[in-house]
Amino acid sequence: MFHSRTIFVLVLFALSIVAIIEAANNNEKMDKSNVLKSLLARHKRSYLAYRFADGIEYVVPEVRETFSCAQREYGYYADVGNNCQVFHVCVPPGQQFSFFCPNTTIFDQRLLICQDQYTATPCQEAERYYVVNQNFGVLEEDKLVRV
């Protein structure tokens, strides 16, 4: 015969077990959903990176995926790893949209346009001109970065 106190303790014990199992389940669910969320966020951030319109294979046969918008401010960036035939629009935090210039043109980082490869700012100098992106949204003439 159980004492009512024994029964009370047993019920309490059972309830604790249930509570612990619940907590563990919740934790696991939380972890899974966090992992899923961060995967989705990463996917969302960069899923357009190095995705191009049709026909890139005729203009840039071997695309090298070396450029990343991670830690970059908003702007247009020539992709030096692809001889500036490719450029990217970076939208923080980390979104990356990739484009290629028309055949025989490269992205001129100083002017932010695709230009004939012989008249454009040389691709080797592109990174030096990434600072022009600081001019987006600047309204006062004297605050513009001059290049």
56 binding ligand NAG? (CB under 6 A): no
CB contact set of 115 (below 8 Å; sequence gap of 6+):
105, 106, 107, 108, 121
Binding mask of the shown chain, residues 61 to 100, with x at each position contacting ligand NAG by CB under 6 A: ----------------------------------------
Please state the closest distance from residue 88 (CB atom) to ligand NAG, in A. 21
Q: Alpha carbon 42 to chain centroid distance?
A: 7
112 binding ligand NAG? (CB under 6 A): no
104 binding ligand NAG? (CB under 6 A): yes
| Residue that has been written with the tokens 């059972």 in this structure | 14
CB contact set of 85 (below 8 Å; sequence gap of 6+):
59, 60, 79, 100, 101, 105, 106, 107
Please state the closest distance from residue 61 (CB atom) to ligand NAG, in A. 10
Give the footprint of ligand NAG on this chain (CB under 6 A): 58-59, 103-104
